[in-house]
Structure 1
Amino acid sequence: MFGRKREEPQIAPVPWDTEGPFVVGEVVRPAAVRQKGLSGRRAVRMSVTLDGVRYFAAAAFVEQRAPEVRSYELYDAIRAQELLCTIAPVRGGSGSGERYAVRDQAGRELGLVFRTGAAKRTVQHGWWLRQPGHPDIVARYHWARGGAKQIAARGRDATVRGADGLVAGVVDSVIAGATAADSRSHVRPTKPVTWCAEDEVALTAGHTQRIKSYIPQASWLDRRLAFALAVLRQD
């Protein structure tokens, strides 16, 4: 009927292990000119297109039982009661900073997420990952010089040579439409962040429609560990 308000579409959840970029948040559809945004439960989300419109479909719901504690549970968005992993702080340990253990539904450790205290940071980004059986997954600041092994020798801070150019190419090719829209709106782009395991790119963070977006790139990287990093960085 003429003048009747158009019903919002139902955006079906997607498998959590689907390859491709993901975001964390409540945004299902960002606000646009003459169009309000659409929100839902806090979740790890992936970009989908419906009738030519970009949406962010839930892949894993994020639950935080106590707002004052940085401890989370991630549930499969398709099978909502199926636990994917837990994220919980690890007490103790030497040095400044924070550690979070990521465990699967059986309690097996998938890896650790670290946040280095500001006073201890030199050329390495504060957030980094450790997955059993692989080198530490770290990111350098954009001004850092030298290769991964060179910087690793300086206080375990690691990076890769020429990472900025590689990250720019990845972000442009994977989320080009969204970043192009941002550039047209004269929003100053932020520098992408690339996490590397020695000389292998493992994870990249850029922006999709002004929302922080993550692109897992190493085939061996457990996506749940990447989800944990994104959830912790958001808070």
Structure 2
Amino acid sequence: MFGRKKEDPPVAPVRWDTESAFVVGEVVRPAAFRQKALIGRRAVRMSVTRDGVRYFAAAAFVEQQDLQTRAYELHDATQPQELLCTIVPMSGGSERYQVRDQTGQELGLVFRTVAAKRTVQHGWWLRQPGHPDVVARYHWARGSAKEIAARGKDAAVRGAGSLVSGVAESVLYGEMAADSRSYVRPTKPVTWCADDEVVLTAGHTQGIKSYIPQASWLDRRLAFAMAVLRQN
């Protein structure tokens, strides 16, 4: 009938180990002309096309038992009873999280970059056993790791407690608010590397932050974990 709204087709879950970009969130279909966004369970999702429309199918459901604690479980969306991994905060002076598989074996660690390094290095990085640290540095950060760390420390000391430091950080992340109206300028992709090898890239798909694993050795569950922590 003319004017009848077209119903969304069923969007079945996809395999979590599919070699594809992924997003984290509840959006199954973004809002479109005269259509509200289609929302589902919070999950790691991958892009699929149904009847010419892009959807984000669930690959791994994200569960958080205690909203006050940043601890999560990821379950296979095709078999919800199947645990993929756990993400648990570790004690110590720095913010870090241990990622374990369903048998309890460690897959790796996800770290929150300490404040002194955030002027040169992205806020999150990861470590997978047997490989160099996977880190994203800003494009202007040049020199050895020791030199970069020293510059980051100096910059943090100069800017500590200042309004200028806060504004600079907003610009770095591409976000600024004015007169109660939010302005978000286009942000450049973030690229995580292990030494000189590109491992993971983050950008945007239809306004939703997306991740593209690029190193064949990267355990996708570790990438999922970092994405979940970044967006929760």
By the TM > 0.5 criterion, same fold?
yes
* Residues 1:219 and 2:216 aligned together: yes
| 1:192 corresponds to | 189
Residue correspondences, number: 200
Partner of 1:134: 131
What does the per-residue CA deviation read over 1:110-166, in whole Å, with 9 as the maximum and x for residues that have no partner? 0000002223434111200000000000000132224xxx23664399xxxxxxxxx
Instruction: Please name the residue that 1:167 is paired with.
Output: none
Selected match of 2:96 from 94, 99, 110: 99
Whole-angstrom distance in 2 between the partners of 1:107 and 1:200: 29
The superposition leaves residues 5-59 of structure 1 with CA deviations (integer Å, 9 ceiling, x where unpaired) of 4332110100000001000000000001222210100000000001110000000
- Alignment partner of 1:155 out of 145, 149, 152: 149
**What's the counterpart of residue 115 of structure 2?**
118
Report the secondary structure of 1:78's partner residue. Answer: coil
Amino acid at match of 2:82: E
Aligned runs of 1:140-179 on 2, under 5 Å?
A: 140-146=137-143, 150-151=144-145, 154-155=148-149
The one-letter code sitting in structure 2 at the alignment partner of 1:12 is A
Structure of larger gyration radius: 2
Please list, as runs of the form range in 1=range in 2, the aligned pairs for 1:201-212 lying within 5 A after superposition: 201-212=198-209
Counterparts of 2:55 and 2:134, CA distance in 1: 30
C-alpha distance in 2 between matches for 1:204 and 1:7: 34
Query: TM-score, normalised on structure 2?
Result: 0.81
Q: 1:152 to 1:86 in 2, by over 3 A?
A: farther
Residue number in structure 2 paired with 1:59: 59
Letter in 2 for 1:207: H
Instruction: Give the whole-Å Cα distance in 2 for the aligned partners of 1:113 and 1:230.
Output: 10
Partner of 1:18: 18
Q: Give the counterpart letter for 2:121 in structure 1.
A: Q
TM-score between both structures, scaled by the size of structure 1: 0.80
Cα distance in 2 for partners of 1:152, 1:205 equals 26
Q: Deviations over 1:56-94 (max 9, x none)?
A: 0000000000111000000000011100000000012x5
CA distance in 1, matches of 2:58, 2:150: 36
1:24-43 mapped onto 2 (5 Å cutoff): 24-43=24-43
Equivalent pair of 2:110/2:125 in contact (CA under 8 Å): yes
How far apart are the structure 1 equivalents of 2:27 and 2:66?
A: 22
Equivalence for 1:182: none
Q: Distance in 1 between matches of 2:185 and 2:117?
A: 29
Aligned to 1:233: 230
**Structure 1 residues 41, 15: closer, same or farther in 2, change over 3 A?**
same
Q: How far, CA to CA, are the matches of 1:142 and 1:211 in structure 2?
A: 23
Say if 1:222 and 1:48 are closer, same or farther in 2 by CA, change over 3 A: same
Task: Let me know the Cα RMSD of the aligned residues.
Answer: 1.9
Aligned to 1:45: 45
Assess if the C-alpha contact under 8 Å between 2:23 and 2:209 holds in 1: yes
Give the gaps of 5 or more residues in structure 2: 152-183
SS at 2:68's partner residue?
coil
Q: Which residue pairs with 2:106 in the alignment? A: 109
